[in-house]
Amino acid sequence: MADEEMLEEVSIITITGEDGTEEYYLEDGEIEFDGKRFAFLIQVTETGEEMEDGEAIIARVETEDGELVFLAPTDEEFDGVLKEYEQLLAEKDEEE
């Protein structure tokens, strides 16, 4: 039997800015903070290619009507998630 290569499905997340323009992101990881789920999103082109000068954002992940929705975190949530992320990175560095 031939080896079958497993391909991971990649979902591009479209976020509409306040000015109505669409930007595209891929999820680069998740973290739980204060009982809520947050995603780290990196900006990509519409075809999913990473942009050299793209930005990264943190979004709160919720489910509405069975659909995933990515929302802007509050300032307190952003600060808490960032602190938690930095702590995880420091722990990882200690392990290496």
79-94 confidence digits (pLDDT tens): 999 999 888 888 877 8
**What's the whole-number mean pLDDT along residues 29-50?**
91
Residue 19 pLDDT class (50, 70, 90 cuts): very high
What is the Cα–Cα distance from 93 to 74, expressed in whole angstroms? Answer: 28
Kindly give, in sequence order, each residue whose CB lies less than 8 Å from that of residue 8, ignoring residues fewer than 6 positions away.
Answer: none
Query: Is the pTM value of this prediction over 0.85?
Result: no
What is the Cα–Cα distance from 87 to 83, expressed in whole angstroms? Answer: 6
The pLDDT value given to residue 1: 43
